[in-house]
Amino acid sequence: MEKLYLLHMITPTPNVSPFDVNMAYDAGYNAVAAYTNITLDQVAALTQDAIFSRGPSGVKRTGIFIGGREIGMAADMLDAARLAMVPPFEVSVFADPSGAFTTAAATVAAVERQLKRAHRCTLEGLEVLVLGGTGPVGTAAAVLASGAGAKVKIASHSSANRARMSSQVANARYGATTEPVDASSEDNKSAAIARMDVVMSSAKAGVQILSQQLLKQAVRLLVAADINAVPPAGIEGVNLMDDGVPLAAGSGKAVGIGALAIGDIKYQVQHGLFEAMLQAEKPLYLDFREAFALARKYVS
């Protein structure tokens, strides 16, 4: 009898995400086990409990998923799991805290697609503003956009200090080149958006962070992407299903990308990475880099 496909979901938070559980089952896992309120120092022992009980053939049907809220903690947990492996007892590990890695990958890939379609250019050399950039999705998106050659500004609408700290983490930990922006006032946002070619909004759900009045100041804007699916829109005038729809902005040439258009890509990417774990002959270690590569492949 063949062994079942088992996924062990580890999170430092009180519960695992129901979204992630659904995705794992839909991708083909037979059973999912949740481990909550896990600290970093517990990851190695949990990993070795998972790998030694199934034998070298069984580990191919075993996976570990790391959730949570913080991308730094998720990265640390992924590293801890990798270091705990004892080949040939080694399983695939996928980190996607709060869906941040797959959502960020989908957002940046969707922006790249619209830059190519509508403006015949790439992110290389463009000025990019990440609103709500201090959260997990925003920080991951900033890292990816920087890696694609953009000049990235991380903005916080609540605290200039938070923007500075997130920028420092993105640069020091992930080799990005980002700068902080204070977006805590309408005047500050107006000044920032006037210089931007691309805006990505990953602010808290249900909070409008960019009004049409501010969009009038966006005299260079090419693409605006909004991940907020809860009314009101994070960027006024960007609808949920928009994918390259003209957007009223000062540039006269901007297009918008809505949350469900991004969500469709995110779904395909997360599903695809779970399937890759199931099919892999050798263990995989998956984070925002692999998510972005798959998102780019999907949108092309």
CA dist 258 and 261 (Å) reads 5
pLDDT at residue 231, rounded to an integer? 87
CA distances from 176 to 140, 149, 168, 171, 203 (A): 10, 10, 9, 4, 20
Domain spanning 101-262, CATH architecture: 3-Layer(aba) Sandwich (3.40)
Task: Return mean pLDDT, the chain.
Answer: 94
pLDDT at residue 1, rounded to an integer? 62
Give the mean pLDDT of 140-158.
94
Measured between its terminal Cα atoms, the distance across the chain in Å is 40
* Maximum C-alpha span of the chain: 66
pLDDT at residue 158, rounded to an integer? 77
42-94 pLDDT, tens digit per residue, is 999 999 999 998 888 788 899 999 999 999 999 999 999 999 999 999 999 99
DSSP per residue, 3-32:
PPPEEEEE-SSSS--HHHHHHHHHHT-SEE
For domain 6-95, give the CATH number. 3.40.50.10280
Any bridge partners for residue 33, and if so which?
8
The percentage of residues in the chain with a pLDDT greater than 70, rounded to a whole number, is 100
Q: What share of the chain is helix, strand, coil (3-state, %, to 5)?
A: 45, 20, 35
What would the two tokens of residue 178 be? 């980002």
DSSP character at residue 255? E
Q: What is the pTM of this model?
A: 0.95
pLDDT at residue 296, rounded to an integer? 98
**Residue 39, Cβ density class (10 Å: 0-12 exposed, 13-18 middle, ≥19 buried):** exposed
Give the mean pLDDT of 26-38.
98
What would the two tokens of residue 185 be? 């006032």
Evaluate if residue 122 carries a pLDDT over 80: yes
User: Checking DSSP bridges between strand 243-246 and strand 255-257, what pairing results, if any?
Assistant: antiparallel
The percentage of residues in the chain with a pLDDT greater than 90, rounded to a whole number, is 82
CA dist 117 and 140 (Å) reads 24
pLDDT at residue 94, rounded to an integer? 98
Identify how many contiguous H helices and E strands the chain contains and give both numbers.
11, 12
pLDDT at residue 2, rounded to an integer? 80
pLDDT at residue 23, rounded to an integer? 97
Q: Please name which of 229, 265, 274, 273 lies closest in space to residue 141, comparing C-alpha atoms.
A: 265
220-264 pLDDT, tens digit per residue, is 999 999 999 888 999 999 999 999 999 999 999 999 999 999 999
pLDDT band at 114 (very low <50, low <70, confident <90, very high): very high
Evaluate if residue 293 carries a pLDDT over 90: yes
Sequence ranges of the chain with CATH classification 3.40.50.720: 101-262
Sequence ranges of the chain with CATH classification 3.40.50.10280: 6-95
Give the mean pLDDT of 163-167.
92
